[in-house]
Amino acid sequence: MTDTNNNNAQLKTVTEPAAGYNDLKFYFSNLNTMFSIRNTLAIDMMTAMPTGSLKRRMNDISSITKRIYAETITPTVSNLLDKVEGEAESNPDKWNDWDKANLDEMRRIHSHLAALPPDLYIASVQIANEGRKVHNLAVQKNDWASAQAYIEKVVTLYRKIAKLKQEKFKTSSAYRALLIGYASDVSDRQMDELYDSLLEPLKELYAKAVEKQKKEEKAQELDGDFSKADQMWLNRTVLEIMGFDFERGGLFVSNISPMTGGNPEDVRILVRCGDNTSFLDSLQDTLYQGARGLYYQNLPEDWITQPVGQDQGAIMLNSLSQLYETIIGSTPQFFDFISVRAEGVFRQFKNKSFEPENLYKLKKVITQTTNRNEADELSKIFHDILRYRIERDLINGDIEVADIPARWNKESAELLGAEPKDVTSGPLQNPDWFTGRFGFIPTNTLSHIIAAQIHETLYDKIDDLPAQIQKGNLSVVGDWVKENIHAVGRKKETFETVKEVTGRELDTSALLKHLERRYLSDKR
């Protein structure tokens, strides 16, 4: 195993709660380093790598992946985990909350890797990295035939993975075995019940919002010259007021899709940005991905190399992203702040389309569309229900990949009131089925619920929050989130954290109130 002075500096332990625990910390510290290297290689592949280098880069990522797998499930680590867990169970008084949670996270990582043979694990990582490029090419060509062949390959792999994990974790369905990788607190049955409980209230709210919109003056489309350089200047400014540390990270343009990766000392934020595209789209990416960047930069420093010092996973990452982008970043107060700056950056003084009220209207226009990326905040939930139903049945073996277009059209007609005109605006929209992220889609809705619940809490905890947002003082939000969520690391589960910081269990009432305010009352 490799070792560094930095790792040594962050692994000092005054009293070891059980013999062998420090050895485990060194093993997982080195594992963290390998994850960091792999993430950086993947980010570089999405931005700066020449297209002709793909084969070599995939080989490099595969090599690191093999070592991650081999060094995690080695008998030395497996035996140490058994031994240390046994001592922890016999002597619980010797363990503080952080060390015990760290040991639990070590076991979780080990269990998920050990559930798979090496060839399946390596194949899953390769698909995750190459799938984005395959998806992008299929979309460009509107080519379902090649997409179907690739998705069949992915589904075949993940049905095998799901079966093994179902046996390992004793889940009620194959899909549930994949869902726990993103939402360990929720089963597919509970997701079915949650979506069923939301569907009618959302349909009713949607109908009222459409009627209200018909009676209002339409928002004016943005008019102006939006160069990539100017957009990125504004994006950087927004990241700065959010509190992003540019000495430990950077902002880049993605040629494929927005994402955030790297490590806490080198966070890379990738956003979409094209010459003369609406700056609101790029700004939206910046708020969403910036929230992730802040999370990575503010993880508990004393535990940064350990499993317990990592983020809480997809649901909490998405929750904070939606808090900043979907909720706070789409308020009238935020557009009061951003409007003047946008006028200056793009030299659009006295341009009525840049007025705060117009920008706010543009972000909440109800649009009946079969394209999720073009959908409004409310309609996106219907899109997620559509995708969830299909991938649940796909992994459980109730449908096959060849059935997806017809099933997509059926669900689209029921949930969205329209069918897509082609596969690009239909099933090719979804990159998750190319990268193997089965189980990720429901986190969008769960995260939306949590973001609304946290937003309600912020109103109670921060004096005059709307005025702070109007002044661009997003640091008051960042400070609260850093103290109550970032600094927790993985010491607590996501839903446990939500209950602790909001004072109640997860429920949909805050989300429904938020959507009603935004689309029917215009308050907040």
pTM for this predicted structure = 0.90
Interhelix angle for 442-461 vs 314-322, to 10°?
A: 60
Joined together, the tokens standing for residue 457 give 């809490």
Report how far Cα 235 is from the mean position of its chain's Cα atoms. Answer: 19
C-beta of residue 66 within 8 angstroms of C-beta of residue 456:
no
3-state SS, residue 280? helix
Helical segments of 170-324, H only = 174-179, 188-214, 228-242, 279-297, 314-322
pLDDT at 136: 87
C-beta of residue 391 within 8 angstroms of C-beta of residue 112:
no
Which secondary-structure segment (H or E) carries 76? Answer: helix 75-90
Q: What is the 3-state composition of the chain as percent helix, strand, coil, each rounded to the nearest 5?
A: 70, 5, 30
pLDDT at 49: 81
pLDDT at 14: 53
Report how far Cα 517 is from the mean position of its chain's Cα atoms. Answer: 25
Residue 216 CA: distances (Å) to CA of 210, 219, 326, 457:
10, 9, 22, 31
Q: Quote the radius of gyration of the chain (alpha carbons, Å).
A: 23
Query: What amino acid occupies position 55?
Result: K
pLDDT at 467: 94
Q: Positive or negative, the Cα torsion across 137, 141, 146, 150?
A: positive
C-beta of residue 43 within 8 angstroms of C-beta of residue 12:
no
Residue located via tokens 């009131």: 417
In the chain, how long is the greatest CA-to-CA distance? 72
Which secondary-structure segment (H or E) carries 251? Answer: strand 249-253
Q: In angstroms, how far is the first alpha carbon of the chain from the final one?
A: 54
Assign 3-class secondary structure to 128-167: HHHHHHHHHHHHHHCCHHHHHHHHHHHHHHHHHHHHHHHH
Average pLDDT for runs of 10 along the chain of length 524: 45 73 95 90 81 84 88 93 96 96 95 90 85 88 93 96 94 93 83 92 95 90 88 95 96 84 91 82 94 97 95 94 95 94 88 91 89 92 96 97 96 94 93 94 94 95 93 94 96 94 93 93 63
Report how far Cα 365 is from the mean position of its chain's Cα atoms. Answer: 24
C-beta of residue 428 within 8 angstroms of C-beta of residue 132:
no
Which secondary-structure segment (H or E) carries 22? Answer: helix 21-47
Residue located via tokens 């990575």: 296
